[in-house]
Chain A
Amino acid sequence: SQKIEQNSEALNIQEGKTATLTCNYTNYSPAYLQWYRQDPGRGPVFLLLIRENEKEKRKERLKVTFDTTLKQSLFHITASQPADSATYLCAPRSGGSYIPTFGRGTSLIVHP
């Protein structure tokens, strides 16, 4: 069966460091993959989308990589700030599919 794995343990880092979150998937051939941010008590908010033919995508301090051979996406936040503390969800998607599937998310805590 299709499976999406994100580290269930919280990632604790110091302000100014680079945070790296991992999304692994199995039994999946996603055409693209999305990353969302979720703050406590709120709905997820879209951050970035990367397609299968793209190795890397950047937006301000955010960078996403997509390795279809390893079946893995990495999400990086450079120069992290306490305001980046949240849960980050990955969502791989097959092309043309209306069925979205989300990973369980990884909590990021940035300490001042």
Chain B
Amino acid sequence: NAGVTQTPKFQVLKTGQSMTLQCAQDMNHNSMYWYRQDPGMGLRLIYYSASEGTTDKGEVPNGYNVSRLNKREFSLRLESAAPSQTSVYFCASSGRGGEETQYFGPGTRLLVL
């Protein structure tokens, strides 16, 4: 099992460009999450999907959109990137949400110039 995979590993964008971060899990988990991690700020939840077909905003959703394509895949889109979105993005999944352990991907490092 690959667990949680993310692509790309690293990306440089110019202000105003768009991109989609891809995430997939092979653990048959119901819930999936997108976080950003900035120095001194810890992990902050951007969006989550409690189950296939549903998505909800987290703590910092502005400037992002998500799509739960199917049970395996959960993508994060930046429509018009801004320097403030420079960060490390982590995707995670869990069995039922709630008490279940979260499994994290390796992260995507995004630099917006």
Contact = CB atoms under 8 A, between A and B. Distances in A.
B75 to A, nearest CB: 17
A28 interface: no
B74 interface: no
Contact of A43 (B56, B98, B105): B105
Nearest to A93: B99
A100 B8 CA distance: 24
A31 B99 CA distance: 9
Identify whether the interface residues of A are mostly helix, strand, loop, or mixed: loop
A98 B50 contact: yes
A41 interface: yes
Contact of B43 (A46, A49, A102): A102
Most buried by A among B50, B92, B99, B107: B99
Interface in B69-112: 90, 92, 97-99, 101-107
B53 interface: no
Interface of A: 8, 31-32, 34, 36, 41-46, 49, 89, 93, 95-105
Given A36-B102, A95-B99, 19 more contacts: A43-B92, A43-B104, A43-B107, A44-B43, A46-B101, A46-B102, A49-B99, A89-B42, A89-B43, A93-B98, A97-B97, A98-B48, A98-B56, A98-B97, A99-B48, A99-B58, A100-B102, A101-B45, A105-B42
